[in-house]
Amino acid sequence: MNKLTSPDMMKLKNIKSILKVIHEDNGIYRKKIAEKINLSSQTVTNIVKELLDKGIIKEESVRQMGQGRNPMSLRINYTDFYVIGVEVTVTEIKVVLTNLLGDLIKACQKQLAEDDDALNVIKQLIDEVKADFSGINRIQAVAISVTGVVNEKKGIIIEVKPLNWFNINLKKELEYLGIPILIRNDVNTIAHSENFNLREDTNFIVVKLDQGIGSSIVIDGHVMRSTNSVAGEFGHITVNYAPEVRKCKCGKYGCLTTLASIGALEERLDMNYERIKEEVKKGNTEVTRMIEEVSDIVAPPLANVVILLDLDRIVLTGKFINDFRDIVFEKLSKKIRENLTDWVAYKDLNIHENVNLAILSAKLLIDHYFENEEDLLFQID
Ligand SMILES: [Zn+2]
């Protein structure tokens, strides 16, 4: 983006505030906007006119009883602007094009083969999703969800071991697209989405039980973030279940992830995940018992987090939960309660199943952009 002069900045700031107000209160009138953000009604009128001319907002007349002119209500034109959502996992890349409501326009995906360069696959799929799209200059931003450690502020992927990604500046790699780029860790993406949907002051933890364990904590309406991007690493707290104290990939012994993840099950049972699922279907009691045991192992540390942070709820997600919810859910729910003191606010255990993080990322982008002052959506000149 070119450097902006300060009057330009001021104007963009006003545009953004007006868009935010309309986003939060769709159907609002000009007069109310001026009251809400303390701008002169002339400024509001001018900016609204510009936004209407560009098609960013729409207006319609609202019939009112009584005298005088009917006021015009203003709405964001969500369906004529678009975003790209990307989900990066260690096995697959998904790219979607949606409108600002998250409605799917086009989707592309690719399973990653051993010698694939994930970064090139992302670029190819983005090209593919944009190809022959008539609204190409109305694509506003890209949102990417990545399974791994992400510096969300800088858009740098700190580590995704299976992809051989270390300190990849993904934001920079995609700069050529010429639109704002938002990059988030996958579990944080879910946390932001839950946080937005709940809307009230609900404190919670999202735990992803998958190949490893990921987590994200939301307190007081904010997704926890730390300077080195690894806050809420629930998988690496020590649980130390004797006699099976295993060395973790992180270097220490007895991490939760060495006992209660898909990777751990594969190692302990010496089978791959597909085989584990088959054995459960066949009624293999040893395998089923080991999956049940995950509830016993995960419940006490989860309850500890609830007590420590006075959480209202726990949200579980990930392949392990998708596949084995019938085996673990009730037991886990009961075990957590048994480990809680009675003064905590904790209400329930929730499951967030089979999420399409590409679409979720795209949806979240909209709220992010109306929230965040630094980035500006709706640059269409
Ligand atoms: Zn560890």
CATH of the domain at 140: 3.30.420.40
* Predicted pLDDT at 67: 61
Q: Is residue 378 part of a domain?
A: no
* Predicted pLDDT at 117: 94
CATH of the domain at 62: 1.10.10.10
Assigned token pair, 354? 């089979």
Shared domain check, 221 and 94 = no
Q: Is residue 229 part of a domain?
A: yes
* Predicted pLDDT at 66: 65
Shared domain check, 179 and 88 = yes
Span from the CA of 255 to the centroid of ligand 1 (angstroms): 5
Give the max Cα distance, the chain.
Answer: 82
What stretches of the chain show up as alpha helix (H) in DSSP? 6-24, 30-37, 41-54, 118-130, 170-173, 186-198, 262-269, 273-282, 285-309, 319-338, 357-371
* Predicted pLDDT at 1: 46
Span from the CA of 182 to the centroid of ligand 1 (angstroms): 28
Q: Is residue 179 part of a domain?
A: yes
Span from the CA of 238 to the centroid of ligand 1 (angstroms): 8
Q: Is residue 329 part of a domain?
A: yes
The range of the structural domain enclosing residue 52 comes to 6-76
Q: How many CA atoms lie within 13 A of 266 on its CB side?
A: 12
Shared domain check, 163 and 115 = yes
What stretches of 131-246 show up as alpha helix (H) in DSSP? 170-173, 186-198
Shared domain check, 98 and 157 = yes
Query: What is the DSSP track for 12-24?
Result: HHHHHHHHHHHHH
Shared domain check, 217 and 330 = yes
Shared domain check, 244 and 185 = no
Write out pLDDT tens, residues 162-204: 899 999 999 999 999 988 898 999 999 999 888 877 766 789 9
Stretches where the chain sits below pLDDT 50 are 1, 380-381
The residue among 21, 56, 76 that closes a domain is: 76
Shared domain check, 299 and 167 = no
Domain tally for the chain?
3
Span from the CA of 141 to the centroid of ligand 1 (angstroms): 35
Structural Rg of the chain based on CA atoms: 24
Q: Is residue 235 part of a domain?
A: yes
Shared domain check, 250 and 227 = yes
Shared domain check, 286 and 185 = no
The residue among 26, 58, 76 that closes a domain is: 76
Shared domain check, 362 and 337 = no
The residue among 28, 61, 76 that closes a domain is: 76
Q: Is residue 290 part of a domain?
A: yes
* Predicted pLDDT at 241: 65
Shared domain check, 283 and 257 = yes
Q: Is residue 199 part of a domain?
A: no
* Predicted pLDDT at 246: 84
* Predicted pLDDT at 243: 66
Span from the CA of 261 to the centroid of ligand 1 (angstroms): 12
Shared domain check, 234 and 267 = yes
Instruction: Please identify every residue whose CB atom is under 5 Å from ligand 1, which is an ion.
Output: 236, 248, 250, 255
Span from the CA of 125 to the centroid of ligand 1 (angstroms): 34
Q: Is residue 352 part of a domain?
A: no
Give burial (CB, 10 Å; 0-12/13-18/19+) of 65: exposed
